[in-house]
Amino acid sequence: MKNVDYIIVGGGYAGIFFAHQLIAHNKSFVLFSGDRKGASKVSAGVINPVVLKKFTTFWLAEEQIDFLAKTMSEIETYTRKNYLINENIHRIFHDEKEKELWLSKTETDELGPFLNSYFETLETIKNPFGTGSVKKSARLDVDAFFKDFFDYFKVNNQLIQEQFDYSQLSENTYKDFTFKNLVFCEGMGVRANPYFNDIQVIPNKGHHLKVRLSVKLDHQYTLKKKHFLFPLNEDVYYYGGTYDPNEREDEIDEFKREELIVGLQEFYPHDFEVEEINYGFRPTVKDRRPILGNHPEHENYFIYNGLGARGILNGCYFSRELYEHIENGKKLIPEVDLKRFIKK
């Protein structure tokens, strides 16, 4: 038997950022990750403190942005790489009225720290009303982030690349492991979990394209009109992703492919070639808050789920909250506590 402090089930943003907390605090762990490709690994990786449809912000936005920067610096000390690409989002305005609304929001306490009052007109794309940039926005190098973390786990014998078998779990023992705490970070995979399959997680399907542009953009910005466009490498760009909360089919939706193509054509006036289309199911919650907490009967079995479309920001920030709760007895923020779903 091998004894560890923690078993983590799931290798998306929740699992990876919680693993970082354990590394930072010298806790032993193993992480189980099967071959199912969850929403995290096909995500855009956009880090954005502003809701760009309505020009509003969201709960704990500034705190989450600041904590992410701190965490990525900590991660760099052992992976030897910083995965943040500090290129701002540029929102393409639909009309003059939208531009005026943006400008008025720059003068508010809520949006002032995030919305740049200086407008820019970009070459290569159609933007007759210009663009506004989002301060403190960035994106994550998603592929490198997951590849390097999984390589790090392998080198340190912390990664078990197999599906977790719930039938092999008995109190504080799983197969050849004994553990103090077990943390389930499974995203939509939680539906197969007999301990937490009743939690209120709703799948929100999202598609994105990888496209080859005939005329390359002369900048590295993340562009946003209906969806995000940014470079992945010299010629290939990411464009997406859609929000399809009513779709449940585990397959590519050709209608969404066409929607993305039309959306890109709205502002990119040159030819492009679709190289790939991917999709994933984001685990969302009705009140748009993550879910953290322990099982009512198995007190050392925890859930960390419901990160939604802000997987990076939520995953990073609330990993510390969950760690402090487990190790130091710190009360969970009521808004994210699993107990909020228990009817009184």
The CATH number that applies at residue 306 is 3.50.50.60
* Contacts of residue 247, Cβ cutoff 8 Å, sequence gap at least 6: 205, 253
Q: What pLDDT is stored for residue 35 in this prediction?
A: 77
Q: What pLDDT is stored for residue 81 in this prediction?
A: 96
Q: Average of pLDDT values for 161-173?
A: 96
The string of pLDDT tens digits covering residues 17-76 is: 999 999 999 999 999 998 777 899 999 999 999 999 999 999 999 999 999 999 999 999
Q: Average of pLDDT values for 319-335?
A: 97
Is 299 domain-assigned? Answer: yes
Is 102 domain-assigned? Answer: no
Among the three residues 243, 266, 284, which one is the final residue of a domain in this structure? 284
pLDDT exceeds cutoff 60 at 344:
no
Please indicate, yes or no, whether residues 158 and 196 belong to a single structural domain of this protein: yes
Residues, the chain: 344
pLDDT band at 341 (very low <50, low <70, confident <90, very high): confident
Please indicate, yes or no, whether residues 147 and 35 belong to a single structural domain of this protein: yes
Q: Yes or no: say if 80 and 100 are a contact pair by the CB < 8 Å rule.
A: no
Please indicate, yes or no, whether residues 167 and 266 belong to a single structural domain of this protein: no
> Considering the entire predicted model, what is its pTM?
0.96
Please indicate, yes or no, whether residues 207 and 177 belong to a single structural domain of this protein: no
Q: Yes or no: say if 253 and 207 are a contact pair by the CB < 8 Å rule.
A: yes
pLDDT band at 216 (very low <50, low <70, confident <90, very high): very high
The string of pLDDT tens digits covering residues 113-144 is: 999 999 999 999 999 999 999 999 999 999 99
Q: Which residues pair with 6 in a beta bridge?
A: 29, 181
The string of pLDDT tens digits covering residues 64-107 is: 999 999 999 999 999 999 999 999 999 999 999 999 999 999 99
Among the three residues 260, 284, 308, which one is the final residue of a domain in this structure? 284
Three-state SS annotation for the chain: CEEEEEEEECCCHHHHHHHHHHHHCCCCEEEECCCCCCCHHHCCCEECCCECCCCECCCCHHHHHHHHHHHHHHHHHHHCCCCEECCCEEEECCCHHHHHHHHHHCCCCCCCCCEEEEEECCCCCCCCCCEEEECCCEEECHHHHHHHHHHHHHHCCCEECCCCCHHHEECCEECCEEEEEEEECCHHHHHHCCCCCCCCCEEEEEEEEEEEECCCCCCCCEEECCCEEEECCCCEEEEECCCECCCCCCCCCHHHHHHHHHHHHCCCCCCEEEEEEEEEEEEECCCCCCEEEECCCCCCEEEEECCCCCHHHHHHHHHHHHHHHHHHCCCCCCCCEHHHHCCC
Q: Half-sphere exposure (CA, 13 Å, Cβ side) for 300?
A: 14
Among the three residues 235, 250, 284, which one is the final residue of a domain in this structure? 284
pLDDT exceeds cutoff 90 at 248:
no
State the distance between the two ends of the chain, measured CA to CA, in whole angstroms: 42
Is 68 domain-assigned? Answer: no
- Total count of domains within the chain: 2
Is 79 domain-assigned? Answer: no
Is 237 domain-assigned? Answer: yes
Please indicate, yes or no, whether residues 214 and 276 belong to a single structural domain of this protein: yes
Q: Which residues pair with 289 in a beta bridge?
A: none
Please indicate, yes or no, whether residues 183 and 299 belong to a single structural domain of this protein: yes
Domain range holding 13? 2-44+143-201+286-341
Please indicate, yes or no, whether residues 194 and 218 belong to a single structural domain of this protein: no
Q: Half-sphere exposure (CA, 13 Å, Cβ side) for 1?
A: 9
Please indicate, yes or no, whether residues 162 and 269 belong to a single structural domain of this protein: no
Please indicate, yes or no, whether residues 268 and 309 belong to a single structural domain of this protein: no
pLDDT band at 1 (very low <50, low <70, confident <90, very high): confident
Please indicate, yes or no, whether residues 297 and 280 belong to a single structural domain of this protein: no
Query: 257: domain CATH number?
Result: 3.30.9.10
How far apart, in whole angstroms, are the C-alpha atoms of residue 87 and residue 89?
A: 7
Is 112 domain-assigned? Answer: no
Q: What pLDDT is stored for residue 343 in this prediction?
A: 67
The string of pLDDT tens digits covering residues 258-316 is: 999 999 999 999 999 999 999 999 999 999 999 999 999 999 999 999 999 999 999 99
Is 62 domain-assigned? Answer: no
Please indicate, yes or no, whether residues 185 and 211 belong to a single structural domain of this protein: no
Please indicate, yes or no, whether residues 300 and 278 belong to a single structural domain of this protein: no
